[in-house]
Structure 1
Amino acid sequence: MGTPELALQVEPARWLGAPAPGGLALPPARAGRGTLYAPRGVYLDDRVVVVADSGNHRVLLWYGWPKADHQPADVVLGHTEFEAEGPGLLHLPTAVALVEGRLLVADAWHHRILVWDDLPEGSGQPPDRVIGQPDLRSTVPNAGGSPGPAGFYWPYGFTYVHGWFYVADTGNRRVLGWRGVPEGLRPADLVLGQPDAYSGAENRGRGVGADTFRWPHALVGDEMTLYVADAGNHRVLGFTPPPEQDRPADLVLGQEDFDRDFELPHVPQGPQRLRFPYGVALCRDYLAVADTANNRVLLFPGPPRRGVYLPAAHVIGQANFAESGENRWRAVGWDTLCWPYGVWGYQDLLAVADSGNNRVMIWRLRRS
């Protein structure tokens, strides 16, 4: 899988969630220690694997590297029991990550980000603090008002980049940024994608451009570039260096220019086109993009920093760049995908929240 000149092997390494019964039938999703329902976020490092089990409104944790496929989780957050389901503490959790030793969870439909000061050791452990609401009891959009410099409306994604904490404030069509991880309703130091902190119009109310968002959903970055998956405009934007004030992007993937939001459904996609890219991750020297509606993950080498309409070098989940079917229109297999959302890179491992298949797949990227 991939181009011979880059000599990259991409192999599935671990399957979390229940096994598939065969054919196009999906793995079972009923809440339990070893099942997932439409997961949208994933994080892993040497200590833990964390999964936003979005459809069950909970977060599952596996301590250490899972020793076997379909291994039961060790801890559940959002409920006190593994068999419980439905909204409670969490309502559609999405992005998850450890940031400076703290576990952060984007509790998207409660319009907040929850913070555990240490890695939770027991099921049902409550969070220690909240971002985007005045207290842990509050769950209304924009902290009960209109768009402002501190509240959220569907915060689906976040990332911590070179001392800056960025949040994809999706419903307000913007990215907010703070110097350091904030708490409560601390005003943002940066509003990216809107003319001020009190605006929330799609594409700034004037049409798609290099400084607009329609549906910013996920973020990732390093000391050189911040990447934003602008899913509603079918593209990924890159800001080099990471922004400290509102400005146009330097990179666009998925579109031929910054002022386009073209969608090309149900035809061969090729290595450059994106449809609803909901996730981005850095893994080795690649930018991984969850090209969700095309049921694939694309790997862009470099990673790219500037330019337009650059091609991917590798595809995961499809046999080639032309195909885009759910599970290749055949069966739920080890190397297929169905609506992948969140992605996370760690060393040579790329974790994919394979939402439509009710599972998380961890892939290994090897140089041959």
Structure 2
Amino acid sequence: MFIPKLPFSNLGADIILGTREEFAVPLAPSAVSMFAPRGACLTSESGPLWVADTGHHRLLGWRNLPTQDGQPADWVIGQPDFFHEGQNAKGTPRNTTLSVPTGICVCGGGLAVADAWNHRVLIWKEIPQDSNVPADIVLGQNNFTDNRPNRNEQEAYAKTLNWCYGVFYHQGKLFVADTGNRRVLVWNELPSENGQPADLVLGQPDMFSRNENGGGTASASSMRWCHDITFWQENLVVTDAGNNRVMIWEGMPTENNTPCRVVLGQKSFDFVELNQGVYFPNASSLSMPYGVDAFGDWLIVADTANSRLLGWNNFTSSGVDADGLMGQKDFKSKSENGDFGLPKRNSVNWCYGINICGDIAVISDSGNNRILLWRLLYV
């Protein structure tokens, strides 16, 4: 049976960062090792590369695009050096500390990071090019020392965050997946002040609500656990991992709670079961998809709990089959590393993120404690 491939080089990842380990056990921090990285961002095709080394509560930075496996990082943010770890460097939050960093993206000429367990987004006005460069702006909190979810309020607000996981910047707008509040917040311009409120909300009827699926059943406008954001052919795309689906809007929404147009992973807006209610996946199902990005006509989704990447390049309706697959031998398989074996250059294990810069895909292969740099092919 012919299984269509995604536009990845058949040789596997060009570069693998991180130490080679059989299982996702905690690894001692160093300039090489990572523990369950959830996000990464190649800021240009030549670098720098910044990785959210989530389990070590830090960012690792490479000055240039790495050229060899296991290349050590040049910089660290969040810890005093490469050999320490701990939430907020085992102290109080500051403008150089992190607690479970996840999403990361280029925003304007700088960098934005979802600092999930500090319930905030950190923004650097310029891309850091040294260790422990302090962030310039914080969203979700009034200052750099507070870190309570929703600023310790019962309700959400336009200026608060709760377990924010993903960040994305597009045509001057900043998008944040405010996962714990089951919503996506949008700033119409890059924020310039600490705690600046968002301008638009998706997934909730207003800025104060935070119920799963808007307090009802899943719909075209509700979310459960949103995680990543991108644009595909100028259409907004959000991964809704808790509902085991990807939501796609037609264009850019301009009103609060705008419903999406189609979903991938489910046949209808009100169905939410992982793998559409059965154990094994198929060509149209998803299980906790976290990451998403676009490459040309391709929309590529990190189907995290199925340890695979799926790609679509032609669809107009919900629940259609994927056009490409990577990480498994066929659409019905879901084993870690394709065979429950050791990591390979072309395998993934609970891949949480994908970031594409030019023709380079940066895959956060979290279950293997590594980052894959994989050349994509224009076809």
Task: Determine the structure 1 residue equivalent to 2:94.
Answer: none
Q: CA RMSD in A?
A: 1.9
User: Is contact 1:225–1:238 with CA below 8 Å preserved after alignment?
Assistant: yes
The alpha carbon displacement at 1:367 in A equals: 4.2
Cα distance between partner residues in 2 of 1:102 and 1:2: 40
Task: Determine the structure 2 residue equivalent to 1:287.
Answer: 299
Cα distance between partner residues in 2 of 1:324 and 1:229: 19
Task: Determine the structure 1 residue equivalent to 2:167.
Answer: 158
Q: For 1:321, which of 315, 318, 331 is the aligned residue?
A: 331
Task: Determine the structure 2 residue equivalent to 1:71.
Answer: 71
* Structure 1: gaps of 5 or more residues: none
User: Is contact 2:9–2:374 with CA below 8 Å preserved after alignment?
Assistant: no
- TM-score w.r.t. the length of structure 2 is 0.91
Identity %: 38
The alpha carbon displacement at 1:14 in A equals: 1.1
Task: Determine the structure 1 residue equivalent to 2:61.
Answer: 61
Cα distance between partner residues in 2 of 1:7 and 1:174: 31
- Residue identity in the other structure for 1:87: Q
Cα distance between partner residues in 2 of 1:186 and 1:214: 24
Q: Deviations over 1:126-170 (max 9, x none)?
A: 212211211111111112323111110011001112232111110
Cα distance between partner residues in 1 of 2:7 and 2:106: 32
- Residue identity in the other structure for 1:310: V
Task: Determine the structure 2 residue equivalent to 1:101.
Answer: 109
Cα distance between partner residues in 2 of 1:30 and 1:251: 43
Where do residues 102-251 of structure 1 align in structure 2 (5 Å cutoff)?
A: 102-145=110-153, 146-182=155-191, 183-221=193-231, 224-245=234-255, 246-251=257-262
Cα distance between partner residues in 2 of 1:48 and 1:7: 24
User: Is contact 1:2–1:8 with CA below 8 Å preserved after alignment?
Assistant: no
Task: Determine the structure 2 residue equivalent to 1:258.
Answer: 269
- Residue identity in the other structure for 1:281: D
Cα distance between partner residues in 2 of 1:140 and 1:285: 41
- TM-score w.r.t. the length of structure 1 is 0.93
Structure 1 residue ranges, 4+ long, deviating more than 6 angstroms after superposition = none
Secondary structure in 2 matching 1:143: helix
Q: From the superposition, tell whether residues 131 and 28 of structure 1 become closer, same or farther in structure 2 (CA, over 3 Å).
A: closer
Task: Determine the structure 1 residue equivalent to 2:31.
Answer: 33
User: Is contact 1:17–1:27 with CA below 8 Å preserved after alignment?
Assistant: no
Secondary structure in 2 matching 1:195: coil
- Which structure's residues are more often strand, by fraction? 1
Secondary structure in 2 matching 1:307: coil
- Residue identity in the other structure for 1:42: A
- Residue identity in the other structure for 1:34: V
Q: For 2:311, which of 284, 287, 299 is the aligned residue?
A: 299
- Residue identity in the other structure for 2:295: C
